[in-house]
């Protein structure tokens, strides 16, 4: 999505020039660090793909280019609020460096390391189903691609670092609330096992940014911040779409060849067959990604094609959310409140819709309709298998049973009915998605145990309901019938309770980044209290562990958060 529209701009740095430093010792500190630690910026895409010859930083249409060189706009008083130590280690950054004032200067955009060559990417995209034309990095500036000691390549990107030629009417900045949410969720998703871009740092700018949170005419000044995002590449479906829409097949071919040889070398040298395989592999990765979202109750909120990674990563955290009560029609995005295009249950179909847009873009390089259709077929096949696998895991089953007979020939009911009936029950009464599956592991199924009473069987699940009085006798009776079927199915699977419980707790998290919890961290940080942010970051590193001392972060959404901005519905204002 585009940035918020307050219309203000700051003068950018001269290209490749360093801002004069007020502290005369600062340059010495930088030199000291760079001589102690050898950092290699390879910037492979920079060397392989076309650049905008115009280096003027003003809003404009850019043709025939993947990148425009642009410097981050300096900020007043950078201060590091948080660093993800695991990402720092990926980049070979030492703890002394990440704790330094120099680090804050670099990752606020006030200073650079040798080899950094800041650029903004040019791309287009379909937004809410309509072609939006050129979009591009309106406030994201990639500093360069760093090669670590293990030979891995990581692109470093500042979000909120100032205007670029793609900023349209916006200022290129970001506020603390959205930056903190992206920083936390990037790392939370990684520790949940969901493919994602990572977050290195969250840096306060010392400057306020004017934003209209709900687009209702009540703009206010908020503290600004910059998050440093990290990924092997930030290439999106929209990078390919823009060249295709402009019939620029020469640069489309260059981009596809670079993507293939750099990120998918196992698919072979550039050719129509290899580009078909590229589309198929992106389809498979996208299917696995969306199956992972669905399994953890994650709703992206803005599945525009410019927010879809060719690597199958979760990218561009805006008005996202994890399901509190299970509502298949829920979207966290107020911009999407009427059409609900990007609601939870619609994410699998939107994934395919977006891939079809990518297929249209790649068609000039593949040139065969049947080959494109075959490549897209990988999405449905992969999604079906991945959804079946993740649902079985959530239920503690070895696999979902598809047949109507057992191995011994006796009749049985396919597990699809068991799954469908459960989700119907979850949607009928406000039931917390995360807590229900976490506590389902505690239901006794062991045939050697005494048969529990209905109350005892139901007891582990009570905590998942938002209002126990809303659980009618009829609903309770239906759920008990389902539980008996579930117990029988687990026994049929032959899995002891101890093994099943361990397996379920390894895939059904106790902790996800609930919107109301993120809001608590935001409000504390706006008061200069970083304790909630620090504690929450540590808790989210271990989402499947019990962590009794931090149990408050696993609690259901409180009533005060039901309709509060930032806790229920969010906007793209950031």
pLDDT in tens, 226-271: 999 999 999 999 999 999 999 999 999 999 999 999 999 999 999 9
Spatial contact of 434 and 512, defined as CB atoms under 8 Å apart: yes
Where do the DSSP E strands lie in 372-509?
none
pLDDT bucket at 408, cuts 50 / 70 / 90: confident
pLDDT digits (tens, 9 = 90+) for 74-87: 999 999 999 999 99
Spatial contact of 525 and 176, defined as CB atoms under 8 Å apart: yes
Residue 30: pLDDT over 70: no
pLDDT digits (tens, 9 = 90+) for 435-493: 999 999 999 998 877 788 888 889 999 999 999 999 999 999 999 999 999 999 999 99
Pick the closest to residue 72 from 4, 134, 11 (CA basis).
Answer: 11
Q: Which sequence spans correspond to the domains of the chain?
A: 26-236, 239-395, 415-494
Residue 572: pLDDT over 80: no
pLDDT digits (tens, 9 = 90+) for 32-61: 556 456 799 999 999 999 999 999 999 999
**Can you give the pLDDT at residue 573?**
61
**Distance in angstroms (rounded) separating the CA atoms of residues 536 and 521:** 8
**Distance in angstroms (rounded) separating the CA atoms of residues 131 and 208:** 33
- Helix, strand, coil in percent for the chain, rounding step 5: 45, 15, 40
Q: How many residues would you count in the chain? A: 574
pLDDT digits (tens, 9 = 90+) for 112-144: 999 999 999 999 999 999 999 999 999 999 999
Residue 183: pLDDT over 70: yes
| Mean pLDDT of the 404-430 span | 89
Residue predicted with more confidence, 215 or 67 = 67
Output DSSP code: residue 460.
Answer: G
Spatial contact of 285 and 195, defined as CB atoms under 8 Å apart: yes
Q: What are phi and psi of 307, to 5 degrees?
A: -110, 20
Residue 9: pLDDT over 60: no
| Mean pLDDT of the 223-228 span | 98
Q: Of 52, 171, 248, 306, which is the active-site residue?
A: 306
Query: Tokens representing 206?
Result: 């010392």
**Can you give the pLDDT at residue 27?**
41
**Distance in angstroms (rounded) separating the CA atoms of residues 286 and 292:** 10
Residue 2: pLDDT over 80: no
pLDDT bucket at 574, cuts 50 / 70 / 90: low
**Can you give the pLDDT at residue 112?**
93
Residue 350: pLDDT over 90: yes
**Can you give the pLDDT at residue 11?**
31
Q: Within the chain, how many helices (H) and strands (E) appear?
A: 18, 12
**Can you give the pLDDT at residue 47?**
96
**Distance in angstroms (rounded) separating the CA atoms of residues 107 and 118:** 12
Average pLDDT over the chain reads 92
In sequence order, what are the residues at sequence separation of 6 or more whose Cβ sits closer than 8 angstroms to the Cβ of residue 384?
Answer: none
**Can you give the pLDDT at residue 37?**
65
In sequence order, what are the residues at sequence separation of 6 or more whose Cβ sits closer than 8 angstroms to the Cβ of residue 552?
Answer: none
Alpha carbon separation from 388 to 64, 350, 384, 392, 425 (Å, rounded) = 43, 19, 6, 6, 19
**Can you give the pLDDT at residue 12?**
31
Whether 306 sits among the annotated catalytic residues: the reply is yes
**Can you give the pLDDT at residue 36?**
53
**Can you give the pLDDT at residue 32?**
52
**Can you give the pLDDT at residue 52?**
98
Residue bearing tokens 């704790």: 99
For the chain, the C-alpha Rg in angstroms (whole number) is 25
In sequence order, what are the residues at sequence separation of 6 or more whose Cβ sits closer than 8 angstroms to the Cβ of residue 40?
Answer: 115, 146, 147
């Amino acid at each position: 999505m585009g940035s918020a529209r307050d219309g203000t701009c700051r003068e950018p740095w001269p290209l490749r020039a360093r801002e004069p430093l007020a502290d005369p010792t600062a340059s010495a500190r930088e030199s000291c660090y760079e001589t102690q630690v050898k950092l290699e910026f390879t910037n492979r895409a920079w060397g392989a793909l076309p650049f905008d010859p115009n280096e003027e930083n003003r809003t404009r249409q850019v043709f025939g280019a993947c990148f425009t060189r642009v410097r981050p706009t300096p900020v007043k008083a950078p201060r590091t609020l948080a660093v993800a130590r695991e990402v720092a280690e990926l980049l070979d950054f030492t703890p002394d460096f990440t704790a330094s004032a120099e680090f804050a200067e670099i990752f606020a955009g006030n200073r650079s390391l040798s080899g950094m060559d800041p650029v903004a990417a040019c791309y287009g995209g379909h937004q809410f189903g309509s072609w939006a034309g050129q979009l591009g990095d309106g406030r994201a500036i990639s500093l360069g691609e760093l090669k670590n000691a293990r030979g891995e390549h990581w692109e470093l990107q500042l979000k909120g670092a100032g205007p670029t030629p793609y900023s349209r009417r916006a200022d290129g900045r970001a506020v603390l609330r959205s930056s903190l949410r992206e920083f936390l969720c990037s790392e939370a998703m990684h520790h949940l096992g969901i493919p994602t871009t990572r977050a290195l740092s969250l840096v306060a700018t010392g400057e306020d940014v004017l934003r209209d949170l709900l687009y209702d005419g009540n703009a206010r000044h908020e503290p600004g911040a910059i998050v440093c995002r990290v990924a092997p590449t930030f290439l999106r479906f929209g990078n390919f779409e823009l060249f295709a829409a402009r019939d620029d097949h020469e640069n489309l071919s260059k981009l596809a060849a670079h993507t293939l040889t750099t990120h998918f070398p196992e698919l072979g040298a550039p050719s129509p067959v290899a580009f078909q395989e590229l589309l198929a592999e992106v389809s498979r990765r996208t299917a696995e990604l969306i199956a992972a979202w669905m399994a953890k109750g994650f709703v992206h909120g803005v599945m525009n094609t410019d927010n879809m990674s060719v690597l199958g990563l979760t990218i561009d955290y805006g008005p996202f959310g994890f399901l509190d009560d299970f509502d298949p029609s829920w979207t966290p995005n107020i911009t999407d409140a009427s059409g609900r295009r990007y609601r939870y249950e619609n994410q699998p179909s939107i994934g395919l819709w977006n891939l079809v847009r990518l297929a249209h873009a790649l068609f000039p390089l593949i040139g065969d309709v049947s080959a494109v259709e075959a490549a897209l077929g990988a999405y449905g096949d992969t999604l079906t298998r991945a959804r079946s696998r993740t649902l079985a895991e959530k239920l503690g089953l070895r696999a979902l049973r598809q047949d109507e007979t057992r191995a011994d020939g006796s009749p049985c009911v396919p597990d699809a009915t068991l799954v469908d009936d459960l989700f119907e029950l979850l949607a009928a009464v406000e039931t917390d998605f995360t807590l229900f599956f976490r506590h389902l592991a505690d239901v006794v199924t062991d045939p050697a145990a005494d048969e529990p009473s209905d109350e005892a069987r139901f007891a582990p699940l009570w905590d998942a309901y938002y209002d126990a009085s809303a659980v009618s006798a009829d609903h309770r009776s239906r759920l008990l019938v389902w539980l008996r079927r579930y117990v029988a199915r687990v026994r049929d699977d032959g899995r002891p309770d101890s093994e099943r419980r361990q397996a379920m707790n390894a895939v059904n998290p106790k902790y996800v980044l609930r919107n109301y919890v993120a809001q608590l961290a935001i409000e504390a940080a706006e008061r200069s209290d970083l304790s909630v942010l620090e504690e929450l970051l540590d808790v989210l590193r271990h989402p499947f562990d019990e962590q009794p001392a931090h149990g408050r972060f696993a609690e259901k959404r409180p009533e005060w958060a039901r309709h509060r901005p930032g806790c229920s519905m969010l906007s793209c204002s950031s």
